[in-house]
Amino acid sequence: MKRIIFLIFSLPILIHAQYTDYWTGKLSFGTSVTIELNVTYDRLNPSMITLDCPEQYSWETKCELMKWTLDSFNVGIAAADVRIIGKKTNHDSILEAKWIQGKMELSITFNRSLTGIDPVRPQNPSLFVDYLIEDVRIHNSKDNIDLFGTLTIPKGFQMKGCVVLVSGSGPQDKEESMMGHKPFWVIADYLTKNGYAVMRFDDRGSYRSTGNFSQSTIYDFANDVNAAIDMVKERTGLDDSKIGLMGHSEGGMVSQIVLKDRPLAFFISLAGPAAPGVDLMYTQNRDLGDMFNISNDEFDKAVGPFLKKILTIVADPKIDSTTAIKKMMTLYKKDSKKFTDAARKRFQMDDPLGAAFWLTKPIRAFVGFNSTSILSQLKLPILALNGSKDKQVNSKMNLDVFRTYTSNNTLSQQIELPGKNHLFQTCEKGDVAEYGKLEETFSPDTLTIILEWLNKVFAK
């Protein structure tokens, strides 16, 4: 059962504000996979539904809550073109449903279970801890939105400092949950047990937080981080000189934007981008080519040169969207003649809609971002960590930039971690599909490096 725990002056108060129903069934389509619906209620009202599929290492995929009543339901996952509709029977203990995906329609029966299916995640912290846990509402007055998060404070309010966690790309909850892993929960638990307060929060427009995620850019997310820092100061009594940021992936970009105008105590980049956005996206698409059946040879000879031209257009704020779409469609019509079918499908831009996908406000802000102008100004200690097998943010390329622009502080370090992927799991390949198969959520040796470095920063 999900619990929210408030600890005030070391006195535990358990509040059952939420609970979750678990519904499990088997979906057969030549093979058979387990499907679990997790329905979370705020009091009597369903507030969120997620879907798990253990055989595909898929956990906590958020469903759109269309309808969930006492006798029927209709939920969906728009990105996968999936709808699950049906009725409740046998005194609300069975769901008789249809799984509709595209033109396919299959029957599935769900049975209510008490505990649900959980992935094997041995690093998940215990629910019973000896530090303070406070659920907080963070008001971003600049954008008039509310963010919901959790602040953990060491026992006895004895804090060396505070770490504000900044999530990566995509709508994330406060744990940065993905494929059954909750890395921010693991990090917060470890650091709080070792003397540091930690703030983590749901992204705007995600889970409990308000706001519009899809229309927001890295600059909007920076406003959210500033609001979270202000909340930390209010709840802990710490000032900016005792508070720092730990940004994962895109969260490293967001952190840099905050630090440009707000000198804090430190910055920890977890696989954070430092190279220009154009170079970052180019290399990411090459490294992930196998995922889209695009070989390195094809990428280097045909796809790469095309993509570099596309990204240059996307990154240029002087080119309006209408002009950009025309330029991109012309380039695609010419260059895609050399592509395989897989490459054409991946970078389809033969119509305005396909080109416009690359021209949303958030993507243009991301691709157009250049860290070097900010990093060269920062004087605070910076720890840059990247995994050697990271295929989303190339380790060597980004650490080289950090080395060039963060040498002005003797405490700054740039470390490549052998055998670690983008999530800092110990891995074999570093592929995205591998994340959910691994039991390790966040490598213990990486946690040790972070703690030892923080202790040096606060020993000065």
Question: Residue range 217-222: average pLDDT?
Answer: 97
Sheet strands (E) in 141-189: 145-153, 161-166
Q: What is the pLDDT of residues 326-343, one digit of tens each?
A: 999 999 999 999 999 999
pLDDT at 259: 97
Distance CA(288)–CA(343), nearest Å, equals 12
Q: Which two tokens stand for residue 100?
A: 């509709």
Q: What is the mean pLDDT of the chain?
A: 91
Q: What is the pLDDT of residues 76-123, one digit of tens each?
A: 998 888 999 999 988 788 999 999 998 889 999 999 987 888 889 999
pLDDT at 314: 95
**Opening angle at CA 303, ends 302 and 306, nearest 5:** 90
3-state secondary structure of 378: coil
User: How many angstroms from the chain centroid is the CA of residue 318?
Assistant: 30
User: Is 320 a residue whose pLDDT tops 90?
Assistant: yes
Domains recognised in the chain with CATH numbers: 4-113 (2.40.128), 132-276+369-457 (3.40.50.1820), 278-367 (no CATH)
Percent of the chain with pLDDT over 70: 95
Q: What is the pLDDT of residues 302-317, one digit of tens each?
A: 999 999 999 999 999 9
pLDDT at 460: 67
Q: What is the pLDDT of residues 56-78, one digit of tens each?
A: 888 888 888 788 888 899 999 98
Identity at 365, one-letter amino acid code: A
pLDDT at 30: 80
pLDDT at 3: 33
User: Is 15 a residue whose pLDDT tops 90?
Assistant: no
Spatial CA neighbour of 159 closest among 198, 129, 130: 198
User: Is 11 a residue whose pLDDT tops 70?
Assistant: no
Question: Residue range 382-386: average pLDDT?
Answer: 97
Spatial CA neighbour of 51 closest among 32, 31, 24, 74: 24
Question: Residue range 31-43: average pLDDT?
Answer: 87
The stretches of 316-388 forming alpha helices (DSSP H) are 321-335, 341-346, 352-356, 361-367, 372-375
pLDDT at 43: 67
pLDDT at 29: 84
Residue 306 has phi, psi (to 5 degrees) of -65, -45
CB atoms near residue 101 (< 10 Å): 16
Q: Give the pLDDT band (50/70/90) at residue 2.
A: very low
Question: Residue range 413-431: average pLDDT?
Answer: 96
Q: What is the pLDDT of residues 392-421, one digit of tens each?
A: 999 999 999 999 998 778 899 999 999 999
Q: Encode 301-311: b = buried (16+ Cβ within 10 Å), e = exposed.
A: ebbbebbeebb
Q: Which residue has the tokens 């469609």?
A: 329
pLDDT at 10: 27
Q: Give the pLDDT band (50/70/90) at residue 344.
A: very high
Q: Which residue has the tokens 């602040």?
A: 151
Q: Which two tokens stand for residue 428?
A: 């074999």
User: Is 5 a residue whose pLDDT tops 60?
Assistant: no
Handedness of CA 296, 297, 302, 305 (dihedral sign): positive
Q: Give the pLDDT band (50/70/90) at residue 213.
A: very high
Question: Residue range 138-144: average pLDDT?
Answer: 97
Distance CA(269)–CA(415), nearest Å, equals 10
Question: Residue range 277-292: average pLDDT?
Answer: 92
Question: Residue range 423-437: average pLDDT?
Answer: 92
Q: Is the pTM of this model over 0.95?
A: no
Radius of gyration, alpha carbons of the chain: 23
